[in-house]
Amino acid sequence: MSTTPRLTDHPALTRHRARAARAPALFLHDSACDEAQDRLAMVNRAFTDVVIVTPWPQVWAPHFPAARIVPDAETLDLAEGSADLVIHALALHWADDPVGQMIQCRRALRPDGLFLGLTFAGRTLHELRAALSQAETEVCGGLSPRVAPMAEIRDLGALMQRAGLALPVADAATLTASYESALHLMRDLRAMGEGNALAARHRRIPPRALFPRAAALYAQAFALPDGRVPATFEIITLTGWAPDASQPQPLRPGSASARLADALGTPEQPLKD
């Protein structure tokens, strides 16, 4: 029987978050919370049983005071059919089994309940990834995992379908922060609890020259006109619904009662064999 490969060293992730909690830099979580509130404002429904999955309850609790907040553990503390809204907040990128996380959220929803997920995606920290890869190749003669892999938007949409969510939608927004240097960015990532917690990372202490060289390469390739460097964060917002008979259903192929050409007011052009 196969087991899910381990992406994350969870004890290391817990240590990183505990260290970050002393003086956290959570502006990305603040932005995700704002995005969630904006999305919910467009939904013509009142949600009464809300659950939020997040490692940073202090960001979400003031905005959702009635919500139950649970940590992003491998097995989520969710009772089946207990919620009409589940928000999974910027933690899926550390999940060994993101589909499993979505399935647990879907099972926690009552019929026609809403899943709202926010997660980092493909272009997140692409500048840092490139600079570290080049620097490590030069300094160490090889590569080691240093930035967590991020899913692409099309993959995340497919994961929602695999999790059994209906009417899935995934869309992206890109945030760009600027820093004095790549070293300042790395310091901020530690304050977010986003240090390297990959299970496959090298455990030895890196050479002293590695990170200064990466910072120099980062500035060389990406520096802004004012000398600062950008850091890209791509955040995907996922929405899907627990299946319910009241939801719109796709028509059976061939069951249309009108032609598309008539609706568009254009002549129909038969395809060549």
- What confidence tens digit (pLDDT) does each residue in 127-184 have? 999 999 999 999 988 888 888 888 898 899 899 999 999 999 999 999 999 999 999 9
- What is residue 1's predicted lDDT score, i.e. its pLDDT? 42
Helix residue ranges, H only, 76-209: 98-108, 126-140, 153-162, 182-191
For residue 59, the surrounding DSSP H or E stretch is: helix 57-60
Write the single-letter amino acid at 169.
V
Compute the distance between CA of residue 262 and CA of residue 41 in angstroms, rounded to an integer.
37
75 neighbors 40 (Cβ within 8 angstroms):
no
- What is residue 187's predicted lDDT score, i.e. its pLDDT? 96
Compute the distance between CA of residue 187 and CA of residue 184 in angstroms, rounded to an integer.
5
Structure token pair of residue 161: 């379908």
Instruction: Give the model confidence (pLDDT) of 53-111 as tens digits.
Output: 999 999 999 999 999 999 999 999 999 999 999 999 999 999 999 999 999 999 999 99
- What is residue 11's predicted lDDT score, i.e. its pLDDT? 95
- What is residue 264's predicted lDDT score, i.e. its pLDDT? 72
pTM for this one?
Answer: 0.87
Compute the distance between CA of residue 149 and CA of residue 267 in angstroms, rounded to an integer.
48
Instruction: Please give the angle made by the CA atoms of 98, 197 and 205, to the nearest 5 degrees.
Output: 160
β-strands 68-70, 50-53: how paired? parallel
Averaging pLDDT over each range in 5-14, 144-153, 204-213, 216-225, which range is the top one?
216-225
3-state helix, strand, coil in the chain (%, to 5): 35, 20, 45
Would you call 107 helix, strand, or coil by DSSP?
helix
